[in-house]
Amino acid sequence: SQQGEEDPQALSIQEGENATMNCSYKTSINNLQWYRQNSGRGLVHLILIRSNEREKHSGRLRVTLDTSKKSSSLLITASRAADTASYFCATSNTQKLVFGQGTRLTINP
């Protein structure tokens, strides 16, 4: 069963705008990771945030983690058409990653 739940399930914005996706989870975690998946392809790792971290940046990506609320957010700034994809959060508390249902992001030119 999935642990993470992403919100919204689908998001459509104009190129250049910022996109924010949220993830909620249920159990304690060691870390939380975000992955991107282009249609019909494998997943690509974007960023990992440890349970003792609150915020992390990587290029145009910003991830926050609030362990008290069991939630995380992924912000993509200055979106581009190439950012169109599905985005998944994945939590780890033992030896495996448990994925959410994903957010389908569409960037309109």
Binding site for other proteins (CB under 8 A): 2, 4, 30-31, 33, 35, 40-45, 48, 50, 88, 92-102
* Beta carbon nearer to other proteins, 11 or 15: 11
CB of 16 to other proteins, least distance (A): 28
Structure tokens, 12: 């459509």
Non-local (6+) Cβ contacts of 106 within 8 A are 10, 11, 12, 13, 84
Find out whether 43 and 33 touch, Cβ atoms under 8 Å: no
CB contact set of 22 (below 8 Å; sequence gap of 6+): 6, 7, 71, 72, 73, 74
The structure tokens listed for 1 are: 């069963």
Residue 43 Cβ, how far from other proteins at the closest point, in Å?
4
Q: C-beta of 102: minimal distance to other proteins in Å? A: 5
Cβ closer to other proteins: 59 or 109? Answer: 59
Choice between 69 and 96, CB closer to other proteins = 96
Minimum gap (Å) between residue 92 Cβ and other proteins: 4
Question: What tokens appear for 31 in the block?
Answer: 């870390």
